[in-house]
A and B are shown apart, each in its own frame.
Chain A
Amino acid sequence: MSTTLLRTIQPNHFTLLGTALFRRNRTTTTSRHISVRCLGSQTASSQPRTAPKNHGSNKLDEILRDYEAVIGIETHVQLSTSTKAFCTCPNTYGSKPNTSICPVCMGLPGALPVLSSKVVDFGVRLGLALNCGLSLKSKFDRKQYFYPDLPKGYQISQFDVPIASGGYVDVDIPLEFGGGHRRFGITRVHMEEDAGKLLHSDTGDYSQVDLNRAGVPLLEIVSEPDMRSGIEAAEYGSEMQRIVRYLGVSNGNMQEGSLRCDVNISIRPIGQAQFGTKVEIKNLNAFSAMSRAIDYEITRQALLYNQGQADQIVTETRLWDEGAQKTVTMRKKEGLADYRYFPEPDLPEVILTQEYVDSIRASLPELPEAKRRRYEAMGLGIQDVLFLANDVSVAEYFDQVIGKGADVKSAANWLMSDIAAYLKNEELSISDVKLTPQELAELIAAIKDETISGKIGKQILFELLAKGGTVQGMIKEKDLVQITDPVEIEKMIMKVISESPKQLEQYRSGRTKLQGFFAGQVMKMSKGKANPALLNKILLEKLDAKE
């Protein structure tokens, strides 16, 4: 409902409002489109992440011979808890503005925050998933600043003792960008609360605030500045999304704002130890945008270096303009902000016991990295591995199918080609599909032992996906059992040959391609049930024999 009140943000009309403004978005593509995007990487056409197919990417290669980009990413993850972080207001997306409020999250006098146990649980979960060390004792601090979307005048966050720190994440770079493994460090993970939403008004002399989001729990993940390119950064971002979805701590939707990434980037001449001036980039709504923004910024900064104007690069926040495909200055940082951090007096220490941590560690699901390595060990190619492990529901489905004994490679192929295409066309996710993993395993087995032909298999797959049902049932109902009796096939072949004397003569006089015609006729006669291999073998014999 609140989306109807949203004003479209014109790309050239940058008001200098807080960045909270830019988190609202026009489009509401959901998570399934993220997994569909991965399908795009299978085909040549729809590849959002490739650099533009012009001299752009060559220019970048040239630049990267002289300069090294140093990139770090700050990710804010909105947690999918039922309540806000410090009060019992419901945490639901899309409610009518200013309805999920109470004295605590509104910062009214006398109200006191009480931490939700779920936030700690999710924090530990994410910290462990990112291979961090946990602080068994951590605390909250007040980060103080004044802004219309911050009711208390401070944000409750964790400053010097975060709940988790010193971790890493392993990613696989997609093949089309060179492939390979990378490990990126994670500096810290900490708990904090979100601010409200600030909206831009048409007339421009006032703004509007919706405090439904104020107090919603966030986990902030700060990476080490280990990334060196837009591709690496995008893959890091994707992996963060994958991990929070696998863990079930967040739905990780960049469009909804439940996953927000800010990039910090600087470049330095290769060989220089000192870091260059750091620039922050905000307003990134997709991983592809992240990649392109980084490429643009590298180019912009390198150009200034080359022109001897490196001092023009200042510490500032820039916004990514999706329409113009460039970064633009938002504001120059006038010195570092002074948030006057001090320990939050209204909240006690967050204390974790080793048993608590161990029990959470034991309950973690198989994470994307572990899945990828397991799939690789099963013999699947890296392309298949990346596809299957990308979406946790697809991976689960796949695991169930092979759990029923199906052949690994066949299962992978079905999922990646026909089933993926179906999902994309119908705009469904794997969990909506009526074909059960059991039945897919049956289908694979039926084709393998030649009960039905591969072609028939594809046909009934479509029906099974849409309507469900069993493979055996469908075979019986439609009489689809493959004909593998050579005698029967020979009978049909002889009939077809006798009915097509003209084609026979043409074949005999050299047009051997007409074999296809005869094969097609036999297939038609057998309603597609003739075993193709056997058919062609006998057909060839008969066609050539009378010669």
Chain B
Amino acid sequence: MAATRALLAAISSSCARRIKIQSSTSSSSSSCSILQFQRRESIIIARSFSSDTNSSPDISRLAETARISLTSAEIKECEPKIRQVIDWFGQLQHVDVNSVEPAIRAEMEGGSLREDAPETFENRDSIRASIPSFDETYLKVPKVVNKE
């Protein structure tokens, strides 16, 4: 059940068809209660897909945010395929999870933390050597005007 939520969250994050709550809170200074938010989100994710069957994913926007260039032909081609993937996951809608406590993320093994002991990576030279635009001290990058 927890896996369901995580998968849905992953898809919904990259899916251009925004679930209202997810897209509206970009900065962390939203003043709505965070824990309430999380409950709401997990419930609404389950509902909104089934009600939202008619709108298509905005593939061009999706490609833009992922910095992938697509021609309009490619966009046309992608759309139904992405649609299919989402619908295939959509089968999970039919599972009754009303009596299940929402998990905050998919279960994962471990959870062991690391000690705060510094270690220098021995092969920093090869890291720097593999950067095409490295000029002795800094990485040279194009001047970027706006953060996304």
- Name A's B-contacting residues (CB within 8 A): 5, 15-19, 72, 74, 81-83, 88-91, 96-103, 106, 108, 114-118, 120, 135, 137-139, 144-148, 157, 159-162, 165, 187-188, 190, 198-199, 201, 204-211, 220, 222, 224-225, 264, 331, 336-343, 345, 347-351
Contact = CB atoms under 8 A, between A and B. Distances in A.
B138 A17 contact: no
B67, B115, B139, B145 — most chain A CB neighbours (10 Å): B139
Nearest to A161: B104
B116 A118 contact: yes
A349 B105 contact: yes
A343 B6 contact: yes
A348 B138 contact: no
Given A145-B147, A208-B141, A340 B38 contact: no
B111 A342 contact: no
Given A103-B121, A162-B34, A351-B111, A187 B29 contact: yes
A206 B104 contact: no
B146 A115 contact: no
A102 B28 contact: no
A528 B28 CA distance: 66
Nearest to A92: B118
Nearest to B137: A97
Contacts of A340: 13-14, 65
A81 B117 CA distance: 9
B120 A117 contact: no
B31 A224 contact: yes
B50 interface: no
Contacts of A19: 147
Nearest to A262: B29
B81 interface: no
Given A190-B28, A343-B6, A348-B109, A88 B143 contact: no
Nearest to B118: A90
Contacts of B144: 17-18, 147-148, 207
B1 to A, nearest CB: 15
A340 B9 CA distance: 10
Contacts of A162: 28, 34
Given A17-B144, A162-B34, A210-B137, 13 more contacts: A5-B137, A17-B143, A102-B121, A116-B115, A138-B104, A139-B104, A161-B35, A188-B28, A206-B140, A206-B143, A208-B135, A331-B146, A345-B6
A209 B118 contact: no
B31 A348 contact: no
B138 A82 contact: no
A89 B139 contact: no
A117 B111 CA distance: 11
A339 B26 contact: yes
Interface residues of B, number: 54
A74 B29 contact: yes
A204 B142 CA distance: 10
A535 to B, nearest CB: 63
A158 B74 CA distance: 35
Nearest to A220: B28
A108 B123 CA distance: 13
A98 B139 CA distance: 8
Contacts of B14: 340, 342
Interface of B: 6, 9-10, 12-14, 22-24, 26-29, 31, 34-35, 37-38, 41, 65, 67, 104-106, 108-111, 113-121, 124, 127-128, 134-135, 137-148
Nearest to A335: B26
B62 to A, nearest CB: 10
Nearest to A106: B127
Nearest to B145: A16
> Main SS of chain A's interface residues?
loop
23 contacts: A102-B121, A115-B113, A145-B147, A146-B148, A147-B148, A148-B139, A159-B28, A161-B35, A161-B104, A165-B34, A198-B141, A208-B140, A210-B137, A222-B28, A264-B29, A331-B146, A337-B147, A337-B148, A340-B13, A340-B65, A341-B13, A345-B108, A348-B109
A159 B34 CA distance: 9
B117 A83 contact: yes
A224 B30 CA distance: 9
Given A165-B35, A206-B143, A349-B104, A82 B116 contact: yes
A207 B138 CA distance: 9
Nearest to A210: B138
A347 B147 CA distance: 26
A137 B138 contact: no
Enumerate the 8 nearest inter-chain pairs by beta-carbon distance, A residue then B residue, closest first. Answer: A208-B138, A102-B121, A117-B113, A342-B13, A118-B116, A90-B118, A148-B141, A348-B111
A115 B114 contact: yes
B116 A83 contact: yes
Most chain A Cβ neighbours within 10 Å, of B9, B14, B128, B143: B143
B141 A206 contact: yes
Contacts of A144: 65
Contacts of B116: 81-83, 116-118
A206 B142 contact: yes
A160 B143 contact: no
Nearest to B41: A160
Nearest to B23: A338
Contacts of A264: 29
Nearest to A2: B137
Nearest to B110: A348
A100 B37 CA distance: 38
Nearest to B143: A207
A211 B139 contact: yes
B138 A343 contact: no
Most central of A147, A342, A347 by chain B CB within 10 Å:
A342
B111 A338 contact: no
B113 A343 contact: no
Contacts of B106: 343, 345
A336 B142 contact: no
Contacts of A15: 143
Nearest to A205: B143
A376 to B, nearest CB: 33
